[in-house]
Structure 1
Amino acid sequence: MPTLPPEPAPRSALASHQHRQTAESFGSNAERYDRARPRYPQALVDRIVAAGPGPDVLDVGCGTGIVARQFEAVGSRVLGVDVDARMADLARRRGLDVEVASFEAWDPAGRKFDAVVSGQTWHWVDPVAGAAKAARTLRPGGLLALFWNAGQPVPEVAEAFAEVYRRAMPDSLAARQWTVSAADGYAALCAKAADGIREVGAFADPEQWRFDWEQAYTRDEWLDQLPTQGAFTRLPRAGLEEVLSGVGAAIDAAGGSFTMRYATLAVTARRTDSP
């Protein structure tokens, strides 16, 4: 049977999981984050629950509890772990049990789970150390499920938004957003996560799932969500106001609303050997 490697040291300084300032910036307005961020397809939640051997779920990078509440709604018992005390505090006020730590440093204290899930977060976790920690906390047959929402508006709206970003933030990642499909960009995160899972050697070969769906946004709804995105959480106030003004004008020009086409991409793997 494969054995778990020791906790690996962090990798390249360029790896996303080492960009802690960005990773820890989302709690700057936890209430807005909880209110505005999109949820996940019910079909994804149902499939994860059906694939796990029981109801105990660990939510890695739980934030304000968006994912956790979706799992609790179908009868799961959820423990959250998040690095940001501000996000964790709001999640607790929503009724979730949360422990504050980075997942790599978190101590499971002998507790075991039927599923370890992570929504829109695993790219902030070392892919090998995270998979090894998940393997230590999963019961045999338990499921590791990592997933991201990849959103892309229709081309004319995407180009109007991109023009705002190029003008206000010319050297930013946002200015290059949607030059390739969002799903292709997130597929790279899925591939990196799958490689980390394989390296640990305690899981069956990872599977990839995809769920396509759409959500309509009014001008106010999108401007509420925009500051919660990583490209904007650390933007100076004047720069953010310029972006919001430009994006708002673009939505007005599109008729006051637009449709975001989402692909929720998931990497899943089943724990194969006894911890």
Structure 2
Amino acid sequence: MATKVHTVAQTGFGTGTNELYDRARPSYPAECLSYIRQVSKSTAPLNINCGAGTGIFTRALLAHPEWATSIGTLRAVEPSDGMCDVWTKTVNDDRSTIVKGTFDNTDLIIIAQAFHWCPDYGKASAEFARILKKDGAVVFIWNLEDRFASVFFSPLRDGAGWVAQLRDRIEVHEKGTPQFRLGLWRKTFSTPEYISSFHPQDEEEWAYHLLASEQIVTDRAKSKSYITMLPPDEKAKVVEDVKGILERGDDKVWINKEEGTYQYPYKTYIVVSRKK
């Protein structure tokens, strides 16, 4: 199956942009990785396909105590050469490889912070079904700044004021890209390919706080694909406006005011689809 990559993803995550992405983006809560470990009904060693990115999820999985003894092979798939370069530099484990292509006889597919870029949900579901064993599963996982009370279970409402303002400021540059928050990926679950091969999806979310500072928040904003592509003057204006938002600090909860650290509200969302 030919690989088709969204232009913004291909350019925004191109060579030279991904060291910032790897440094600025958060890892995944340990309890979320424990949850995913219980998804697979297969006993160890597991053969896993996961989206590669820069290796943030791969490193978290390999280091997690419940996964360390469970992984047989972990094959990371990534269409971006820039992200492949960073993954290769940051992941050092004999069980893991990074490749382009598809695989067979797989227990578990994990797609971290990526499935919203999928160009064809029906074809993706058919491919998942092809490579998964019976009772195998595909897991989609995302981290997102907690601007909203809930994406899955309750009406949307603003959370921390500064986070809502931050998101409003950077989202004007999305230019129609298929961001996770828009929920376009939900069309997957109504495609004939999905319905014929998978059970209805299970969905979970976790709320927590990360450490924030002006540098962390600014770098994370700059790591967004659509921000990396901006001309220098526009990118500088984004940085200036983010600084202003943080200086106002609406609803900011300090961790250590003298050190300039405060709570960064976050949520992790997991969707699990099990093959029939």
Q: Match for residue 138 of structure 2? A: 144
List aligned pairs for 1:84-95, cutoff 5 A: 84-94=80-90, 95=92
Q: Which residue of 1 aligns with 2:254?
A: none
- 1:71-119 Cα shifts (integer Å, max 9, x gaps): 222222311001101111221222241113xxxxx332xx322110111
**Structure 2 vs 1, CA of residues 164 and 206 (structure 1 numbering), >3 Å: closer, same or farther?**
closer
Which structure 1 segments of 5+ residues have no match? 1-6, 11-16, 101-105, 175-181
Instruction: Quote how far apart the aligned CAs of 1:164 are.
Output: 5.1
Q: What do you get for the CA RMSD once the two structures are aligned?
A: 2.9
> How far apart are 1:58 and its partner, in Å?
0.5
CA contact (8 A) 1:81 1:98 kept: yes
Following the alignment from structure 1 to structure 2, what is the Cα–Cα distance between the partners of residues 163 and 140? 43
CA gap 1:44/1:164 in 2 versus in 1, 3 angstroms: closer
After superposition, residues 163-242 of structure 1 pair within 5 angstroms as 172-173=173-174, 186=181, 188-189=183-184, 191-196=186-191, 199=194, 201-242=196-237
2:228 is paired with a residue whose SS is coil
Matched with 1:262 is: 266
Specify the alignment match of 1:116 in structure 2.
Answer: 109
Aligned pairs, number: 238
Deviation at 1:248, TM superposition (A): 1.8
1:219–1:251 Cα contact (<8 Å) kept: yes
Distance 1:162 1:83, change over 3 A: closer
**2:160–2:265 CA contact under 8 A, matched in 1:** no
| Cα deviation digits, residues 177-235 of structure 1 (max 9, x gap) | xxxxx9xx737245223334863521122111112222131001111221111331211
Normalising by structure 2, we get a TM-score of: 0.75
Q: Residues 159 and 67 (structure 1 numbering): CA distance in 2 closer, same or farther, change over 3 Å? A: closer
Aligned 8 A contact 2:9 2:117 in 1: no
Which aligned runs of 4 or more in structure 1 are off by greater than 6 angstroms? Answer: none
Q: Distance in 1 between matches of 2:206 and 2:189?
A: 18
Query: Following TM superposition, by how much is the alpha carbon of 1:65 offset from its aligned partner in structure 2, in angstroms?
Result: 1.1
The range that moved more, 82-91 or 126-135, is: 126-135
Question: Which blocks of at least 5 consecutive residues in structure 2 are unaligned?
Answer: 148-158, 250-256
Q: TM-score, normalised by structure 1?
A: 0.75
Determine if contact 1:51/1:143 at 8 Å carries over to the other structure: yes
Distance 1:250 1:228, change over 3 A: same
* Native 8 Å contact 2:126 2:193 kept in 1: no
Distance 1:59 1:156 in 2: 34
